[in-house]
Amino acid sequence: MTTTREIAATFGVKQVSTDPAWELHCAEWLRENHSTEALAEMFARFREGEGSFEVSIRRAVFRAVCRRVGSDIQIGPGVVLKHPETMEFGDCVFIGAQAMIQGRFDGTCRIGNHVWIGPQAYFDARDLVLEDYVGWGPGARVLGSAHTGEPVDIPVIATNLVIKPVVIGCGADIGVNSVILPGVHVGAHAIVGAGAVVTQDVPEYAVVAGVPAKILRLRK
Protein backbone atom coordinates (compact mmCIF):
# COMPACT_ATOMS: atom_id res chain seq x y z
CA MET A 1 0.00 0.00 0.00
CA THR A 2 1.36 3.41 -1.02
CA THR A 3 1.51 6.02 1.71
CA THR A 4 1.75 9.79 1.43
CA ARG A 5 4.70 11.44 3.14
CA GLU A 6 5.32 15.03 4.13
CA ILE A 7 8.96 16.08 4.36
CA ALA A 8 10.64 19.37 5.22
CA ALA A 9 11.37 21.92 2.50
CA THR A 10 15.01 22.23 1.43
CA PHE A 11 15.56 24.84 -1.28
CA GLY A 12 13.00 27.30 0.06
CA VAL A 13 14.73 27.51 3.43
CA LYS A 14 18.30 27.17 2.17
CA GLN A 15 20.83 29.64 3.56
CA VAL A 16 22.78 31.58 0.95
CA SER A 17 26.33 30.26 0.57
CA THR A 18 29.33 32.49 -0.05
CA ASP A 19 30.83 32.11 -3.50
CA PRO A 20 34.55 31.22 -3.76
CA ALA A 21 36.69 34.33 -4.07
CA TRP A 22 38.52 32.95 -7.11
CA GLU A 23 35.22 32.53 -8.94
CA LEU A 24 34.27 36.17 -8.35
CA HIS A 25 37.71 37.38 -9.46
CA CYS A 26 37.55 35.14 -12.52
CA ALA A 27 34.15 36.56 -13.49
CA GLU A 28 35.41 40.11 -13.09
CA TRP A 29 38.48 39.39 -15.23
CA LEU A 30 36.39 37.73 -17.93
CA ARG A 31 34.00 40.69 -18.06
CA GLU A 32 36.81 43.20 -18.36
CA ASN A 33 38.74 41.31 -21.02
CA HIS A 34 36.14 39.65 -23.26
CA SER A 35 33.29 40.85 -25.43
CA THR A 36 29.70 39.80 -24.83
CA GLU A 37 29.91 37.57 -27.90
CA ALA A 38 33.09 35.87 -26.68
CA LEU A 39 31.56 35.27 -23.25
CA ALA A 40 28.46 33.75 -24.85
CA GLU A 41 30.67 31.37 -26.83
CA MET A 42 32.59 30.47 -23.67
CA PHE A 43 29.39 29.76 -21.77
CA ALA A 44 28.26 27.46 -24.61
CA ARG A 45 31.58 25.60 -24.37
CA PHE A 46 30.97 24.72 -20.71
CA ARG A 47 27.18 24.38 -20.96
CA GLU A 48 26.91 20.60 -20.74
CA GLY A 49 29.60 19.62 -18.23
CA GLU A 50 28.60 18.23 -14.83
CA GLY A 51 32.02 17.90 -13.22
CA SER A 52 32.96 20.29 -10.43
CA PHE A 53 35.40 22.20 -12.65
CA GLU A 54 32.88 22.67 -15.47
CA VAL A 55 30.17 23.73 -13.02
CA SER A 56 32.45 26.34 -11.42
CA ILE A 57 33.62 27.77 -14.73
CA ARG A 58 30.04 27.86 -15.99
CA ARG A 59 29.06 29.89 -12.91
CA ALA A 60 31.95 32.31 -13.42
CA VAL A 61 31.14 32.87 -17.09
CA PHE A 62 27.44 33.20 -16.28
CA ARG A 63 28.28 35.92 -13.76
CA ALA A 64 30.48 37.69 -16.29
CA VAL A 65 27.98 37.66 -19.14
CA CYS A 66 24.84 38.69 -17.20
CA ARG A 67 23.99 42.21 -16.03
CA ARG A 68 23.94 41.12 -12.38
CA VAL A 69 24.18 37.80 -10.54
CA GLY A 70 23.81 37.33 -6.79
CA SER A 71 25.47 34.76 -4.58
CA ASP A 72 25.04 30.98 -4.66
CA ILE A 73 23.53 30.52 -8.12
CA GLN A 74 23.14 26.94 -9.40
CA ILE A 75 23.09 26.36 -13.16
CA GLY A 76 22.21 22.94 -14.52
CA PRO A 77 23.67 21.45 -17.71
CA GLY A 78 22.26 22.55 -21.05
CA VAL A 79 20.93 25.94 -19.91
CA VAL A 80 20.57 28.35 -22.87
CA LEU A 81 20.65 32.16 -22.57
CA LYS A 82 19.86 34.71 -25.30
CA HIS A 83 20.89 38.30 -24.57
CA PRO A 84 22.11 37.55 -21.02
CA GLU A 85 23.48 41.10 -20.82
CA THR A 86 19.88 42.19 -20.07
CA MET A 87 19.37 39.67 -17.23
CA GLU A 88 19.58 40.11 -13.46
CA PHE A 89 19.54 37.25 -10.94
CA GLY A 90 19.24 37.46 -7.15
CA ASP A 91 20.77 35.28 -4.45
CA CYS A 92 20.26 31.52 -4.26
CA VAL A 93 18.71 30.98 -7.69
CA PHE A 94 18.45 27.47 -9.15
CA ILE A 95 18.16 27.01 -12.92
CA GLY A 96 17.39 23.44 -13.94
CA ALA A 97 18.87 21.48 -16.82
CA GLN A 98 17.95 22.52 -20.37
CA ALA A 99 16.05 25.62 -19.30
CA MET A 100 16.02 28.43 -21.89
CA ILE A 101 15.81 32.15 -21.15
CA GLN A 102 15.18 34.17 -24.32
CA GLY A 103 15.88 37.87 -23.82
CA ARG A 104 16.05 40.81 -26.22
CA PHE A 105 18.85 43.34 -26.72
CA ASP A 106 16.69 46.15 -25.30
CA GLY A 107 14.68 43.99 -22.90
CA THR A 108 14.41 43.55 -19.14
CA CYS A 109 14.64 40.29 -17.20
CA ARG A 110 14.79 40.36 -13.40
CA ILE A 111 14.74 37.16 -11.35
CA GLY A 112 14.66 37.58 -7.58
CA ASN A 113 16.12 35.76 -4.60
CA HIS A 114 15.47 32.09 -3.82
CA VAL A 115 13.82 31.41 -7.19
CA TRP A 116 13.68 27.76 -8.28
CA ILE A 117 13.38 27.11 -12.04
CA GLY A 118 12.69 23.54 -13.09
CA PRO A 119 14.33 21.64 -15.95
CA GLN A 120 13.23 22.40 -19.52
CA ALA A 121 11.49 25.63 -18.53
CA TYR A 122 11.15 28.31 -21.22
CA PHE A 123 11.07 32.06 -20.66
CA ASP A 124 10.26 34.71 -23.24
CA ALA A 125 12.17 37.17 -21.09
CA ARG A 126 11.90 40.36 -23.14
CA ASP A 127 9.99 42.06 -20.31
CA LEU A 128 9.85 39.66 -17.37
CA VAL A 129 10.00 39.89 -13.58
CA LEU A 130 10.04 36.91 -11.22
CA GLU A 131 9.91 38.18 -7.66
CA ASP A 132 11.48 36.44 -4.63
CA TYR A 133 10.69 32.82 -3.70
CA VAL A 134 8.97 31.93 -6.97
CA GLY A 135 8.77 28.22 -7.79
CA TRP A 136 8.70 27.46 -11.53
CA GLY A 137 7.75 23.90 -12.44
CA PRO A 138 9.59 21.74 -14.98
CA GLY A 139 8.52 22.46 -18.55
CA ALA A 140 6.49 25.55 -17.60
CA ARG A 141 6.64 28.40 -20.11
CA VAL A 142 6.03 32.11 -20.23
CA LEU A 143 5.27 33.98 -23.44
CA GLY A 144 5.89 37.70 -23.33
CA SER A 145 5.12 38.57 -26.92
CA ALA A 146 2.75 37.74 -29.76
CA HIS A 147 2.39 38.61 -33.44
CA THR A 148 -0.38 41.06 -34.30
CA GLY A 149 -1.60 38.94 -37.23
CA GLU A 150 -2.30 42.12 -39.17
CA PRO A 151 -2.55 42.76 -42.02
CA VAL A 152 -4.28 39.46 -42.58
CA ASP A 153 -3.01 38.97 -46.13
CA ILE A 154 0.56 38.18 -45.02
CA PRO A 155 1.88 35.30 -42.93
CA VAL A 156 1.28 35.81 -39.20
CA ILE A 157 4.98 35.21 -38.52
CA ALA A 158 5.79 38.21 -40.76
CA THR A 159 3.61 40.64 -38.78
CA ASN A 160 4.85 42.87 -35.97
CA LEU A 161 5.44 41.59 -32.45
CA VAL A 162 3.76 43.13 -29.43
CA ILE A 163 5.74 42.73 -26.21
CA LYS A 164 3.75 42.80 -22.95
CA PRO A 165 5.29 42.66 -19.46
CA VAL A 166 4.82 39.53 -17.36
CA VAL A 167 5.19 39.65 -13.57
CA ILE A 168 5.17 36.64 -11.23
CA GLY A 169 4.61 37.79 -7.66
CA CYS A 170 6.56 36.88 -4.54
CA GLY A 171 6.03 33.32 -3.33
CA ALA A 172 3.91 32.24 -6.31
CA ASP A 173 4.15 28.66 -7.55
CA ILE A 174 3.85 27.86 -11.27
CA GLY A 175 2.91 24.25 -11.99
CA VAL A 176 4.51 21.72 -14.30
CA ASN A 177 3.94 22.39 -18.03
CA SER A 178 1.74 25.43 -17.42
CA VAL A 179 1.80 28.42 -19.79
CA ILE A 180 1.70 32.09 -18.82
CA LEU A 181 0.59 34.34 -21.71
CA PRO A 182 1.75 37.89 -22.53
CA GLY A 183 0.73 40.70 -20.18
CA VAL A 184 -0.28 38.43 -17.27
CA HIS A 185 0.44 39.33 -13.64
CA VAL A 186 0.36 36.37 -11.26
CA GLY A 187 -0.22 37.70 -7.74
CA ALA A 188 1.90 36.96 -4.70
CA HIS A 189 1.53 33.48 -3.14
CA ALA A 190 -0.79 32.29 -5.92
CA ILE A 191 -0.68 28.72 -7.24
CA VAL A 192 -1.00 27.90 -10.95
CA GLY A 193 -1.98 24.27 -11.50
CA ALA A 194 -0.10 21.84 -13.72
CA GLY A 195 -0.86 22.28 -17.42
CA ALA A 196 -2.86 25.47 -16.92
CA VAL A 197 -2.95 28.16 -19.61
CA VAL A 198 -3.10 31.53 -17.86
CA THR A 199 -4.66 34.22 -20.05
CA GLN A 200 -5.65 36.76 -17.38
CA ASP A 201 -4.22 38.21 -14.18
CA VAL A 202 -4.27 35.94 -11.13
CA PRO A 203 -5.15 37.52 -7.75
CA GLU A 204 -2.91 37.12 -4.73
CA TYR A 205 -3.32 33.79 -2.90
CA ALA A 206 -5.56 32.41 -5.67
CA VAL A 207 -5.38 28.80 -6.88
CA VAL A 208 -6.05 28.56 -10.62
CA ALA A 209 -6.15 25.63 -13.04
CA GLY A 210 -7.53 24.63 -16.42
CA VAL A 211 -7.49 25.80 -20.03
CA PRO A 212 -8.05 28.68 -19.85
CA ALA A 213 -7.15 28.92 -16.17
CA LYS A 214 -9.96 29.77 -13.73
CA ILE A 215 -9.96 30.47 -10.02
CA LEU A 216 -10.70 27.36 -7.97
CA ARG A 217 -10.32 28.88 -4.52
CA LEU A 218 -8.41 31.41 -2.45
CA ARG A 219 -5.71 30.13 -0.09
CA LYS A 220 -6.52 32.66 2.63
Find the helix packing angle between 36-45 and 52-65, rounded to 10°.
Answer: 160
Identify the three-state secondary structure at position 143.
coil
State the pLDDT confidence band at 220, using cuts at 50, 70 and 90: confident
CATH code for the domain defined by 78-218: 2.160.10.10
What average pLDDT does the structure give for the chain?
A: 95
Top-confidence residue, 130 or 3: 130
Residue extents of the structural domains in the chain: 18-65, 78-218
Top-confidence residue, 2 or 62: 62
Q: How far apart are CA 27 and CA 210, in angstroms?
A: 43
Find the helix packing angle between 52-65 and 21-33, rounded to 10°.
Answer: 50
Phi, psi angles (nearest 5°) of residue 21: -60, -40
Can you tell me the mean pLDDT for 52-73? 94
Instruction: Determine how many CB atoms are found less than 10 A away from the CB of residue 209.
Output: 18
Q: How far apart are CA 137 and CA 156, in angstroms?
A: 30
pLDDT, one tens digit per residue, over 153-163 is 999 999 999 99
The yes-or-no verdict on residue 112 having pLDDT over 90 is yes
CB 168 within 8 A of CB 148: no
**All residues at 6 or more sequence positions from 88 whose CB lies less than 8 Å from its CB, including other chains:** 66, 67, 68, 69, 109, 110, 111
The yes-or-no verdict on residue 1 having pLDDT over 80 is no
CB 136 within 8 A of CB 118: yes
CB 208 within 8 A of CB 191: yes
